[in-house]
Amino acid sequence: MASTLTEKIYYKIGEVAEAAGVRTSVLRFWETEFPFLKPVKSSSGQRLYSKNEVDLVLQVKHLLYDEKFTIEGVKKRITPKGKLINAEDLFDSTPSIDYSEVLKAVRKELKVIRDLL
């Protein structure tokens, strides 16, 4: 978490914006784009971010501004529940195929076709 924030349960939107180095309007926009950013609102309507949400804001800023991700790219890297997905996990992890067995089956089929001709 940013060192400029003191330890407390909730942070106001202005505090989070200052710590992240973005405007409050940017945070409000991110709330519409990312389901994991849903700060609670006080009785007066003030947005209150938890420590976890502040960390997510900083992660979003890093991905967008430093890593040059798009909004859609960030959505793929952070789950709707706010869990960061490693880049390696984004790639389809299909089980390895034993191509020697596939080739044997193809050869067998080709021999059957040849014999029919």
pLDDT at 80 over 50: yes
In a domain, 102, yes or no: no
pLDDT, tens digit, 9 for 90 and up, residues 19-64: 999 999 999 999 999 999 999 999 999 999 999 999 999 999 999 9
63 and 22 Cβ atoms separated by less than 8 Å = no
Q: Is residue 27 part of a domain?
A: yes
**Cα–Cα distance measured from residue 47 to residue 32, given in angstroms and rounded to the nearest whole number:** 14
> Which pLDDT value is given to residue 81?
87
Range of the domain at 29: 1-87
Question: What's the confidence (pLDDT) of residue 90?
Answer: 55
The kind and range of the H/E element at 40 are strand 40-41
Cβ 49 vs Cβ 39: under 8 Å: yes
Beta bridge mates, 48? 12, 40
Q: Is residue 108 part of a domain?
A: no
Number of domains into which the chain is organized: 1
**Cα angle vertex 89, ends 26, 98, to 5°?**
155
- Check which CATH number belongs to the domain holding 10 and give it: 1.10.1660.10
Residue 16 resides in a domain: yes
User: So what's the pLDDT on residue 1?
Assistant: 44
Is the pTM of the predicted complex or chain greater than 0.75? no
Q: Is residue 96 situated within a structural domain?
A: no
Evaluate whether residue 92 is within a structural domain: no
